[in-house]
Amino acid sequence: MCISTFAGGRVRQVLIGAALAAATLAGTVAAAAAPVVPSTQQQWRLVRAGAQGYQLELRDMPVRAPGAHEVLVRVHAASLNRRDVFVMHGQYPVSAGDSFVPLSDGAGEVVAAGRSVRRFHTGDRVVAAFFQAWLSGPMTPAAFGSALGGGVDGMLSTYVTLNEDGLARIPASLSYEEAATLPCAGVTAWNGLVTRGHTQPGQYVLLEGTGGVSVAGLQIAAALGAKPVITSSSDDKLARARALGAVATVNYRSSPEWEKDVMAATGNAGVQQVLEVGGKDTLPHMLASIGYGAHIALIGGLGGFGGDIPMMALLGKGASVSSIYVGSRADLEALLAFADKHRIHPVVDKVFEYADAPAAFQLMESDRFFGKIVIRM
């Protein structure tokens, strides 16, 4: 009530009434602007297809309301990694079952939040962490099983319901498509070069190929003031890499003993940092390219898993090796802040529409791309 016997009472009454009217109007506008969330959605799933792997199927699935500590995200973009092709062909261990949503990487808008959520609000732009339960520090057994698109349902879905702790806020400088490229490839490069590698300005950094991890590593290394050296079988891709900051490029097809070119580019000192993504095919050449005190981030097996690392090749150079399996939410948040500060825009080679998801997988298998492949919802 606002009745008053004071001379100013009428004024106070009018002001309070106006405030109540404004509050009512604001509530009406907010309610009108609230997103309408459907009860069902079209969702891409990987469905078991015999012992050889999975096939993509588009199915009508329910939209799950968020629990107390969960948020519902309207996904706007997702990106592919080599891991997703391995998963489809049954070449990568998964525990999600005979039918699950693929892709670890995705970004979108929070459209609903559980009653106990504190980190986000409706309308916030967010990107999902690769490991939903690896928040910071060392990996744990519980975190290991929380990988999106393998341990649990992934991001190739118009709506996803995730724990608030498994998300990071997107800075204004990044689009949904750009942010969606970072959780796996970007964080892997960041972990290898920064969290574990402690890359310093002026150091030579060896990057193999022009896929997602290597191109992200190129952009990070250049922003750090390091000297990226990158390999590819395509002169056109190498030209694009030079435009992004590579100080030296090597075509491993025209130079099969490409370690000689790398050593020449570094004045025979060798590189101090390596993102080793090639596997058994690149290991011998990489080891012949490192300098004293080098750090090697062992990441993947694009050319096949396996291969031996001669101990003397490491001992003789005083080199160190880190095994990199993506990274934590803290790594993702640090990378997002770094990208925002240095105005890094992840390289997106091609964007597919949601209905064309199978074509995006085909392009990933072809290797005819530079950087990342994105699916827009």
Place of tokens 């309070």: 16
Question: Which tens digit of pLDDT belongs to each residue from 211-270?
Answer: 999 999 999 999 999 999 999 999 999 999 999 999 999 999 999 999 999 999 999 999
User: Domain 40-184+327-376 is in which class?
Assistant: alpha beta
Per-residue model confidence (pLDDT) at position 232:
97
- Looking at per-residue confidence, does 131 or 30 come out higher? 131
Q: Where are the domains of the chain?
A: 40-184+327-376, 197-323
Question: Which tens digit of pLDDT belongs to each residue from 187-223?
Answer: 999 999 999 999 999 999 999 999 999 999 999 999 9
Q: CA 92, 146, 376, 45 torsion: positive or negative? A: positive
Query: Residues 288-299: what's their mean pLDDT?
Result: 96
Per-residue model confidence (pLDDT) at position 316:
84
- Looking at per-residue confidence, does 222 or 301 come out higher? 222
- Looking at per-residue confidence, does 316 or 327 come out higher? 327
Per the rule left: phi > 0, alpha: psi between -120 and 50, beta: everything else, 312 is alpha
What is the token pair recorded at 150? 């393998």
11-25, 63-77, 174-188: least confident range: 11-25
Per-residue model confidence (pLDDT) at position 305:
54
Asked whether 92 and 150 are in contact (CB, 8 A), the reply is: yes
How far is Cα 78 from Cα 82, in angstroms, rounded to an integer? 14
Answer yes or no: is pLDDT of 18 > 90: no
Per-residue model confidence (pLDDT) at position 106:
98
Question: Which tens digit of pLDDT belongs to each residue from 32-44?
Answer: 456 788 999 999 9
What is the token pair recorded at 304? 């096949």
How many beta carbons lie within 10 A of that of residue 94, not counting itself? 18
Answer yes or no: is pLDDT of 68 > 70: yes
**Nearest Cα to Cα of residue 133 among 331, 332, 333, 329:** 329
Per-residue model confidence (pLDDT) at position 306:
58
Answer yes or no: is pLDDT of 76 > 60: yes
Average pLDDT of the chain to the nearest whole number:
90
**What is the DSSP track for 222-262?**
HHHT-EEEEEES-HHHHHHHHHTT-SEEEETTT-SSHHHHH
Answer yes or no: is pLDDT of 292 > 80: yes
Q: Write the DSSP symbol of residue 68.
A: T
Answer yes or no: is pLDDT of 10 > 50: no
Q: What length is written for the chain?
A: 377
What lies within 8 Å, CB to CB, of 244 at 6+ separation is: 215, 218, 219, 222, 347
Helix (H, G, I), strand (E, B) or coil at 137: coil
Per-residue model confidence (pLDDT) at position 34:
62
CA dist list (Å): 377 to 27, 108, 355? 30, 9, 9
Per-residue model confidence (pLDDT) at position 302:
56
Which CATH superfamily includes the segment(s) 197-323? NAD(P)-binding Rossmann-like Domain (3.40.50.720)
Q: What percent of the chain has pLDDT over 90?
A: 79
Per-residue model confidence (pLDDT) at position 37:
87
Write down the pTM of the prediction: 0.88
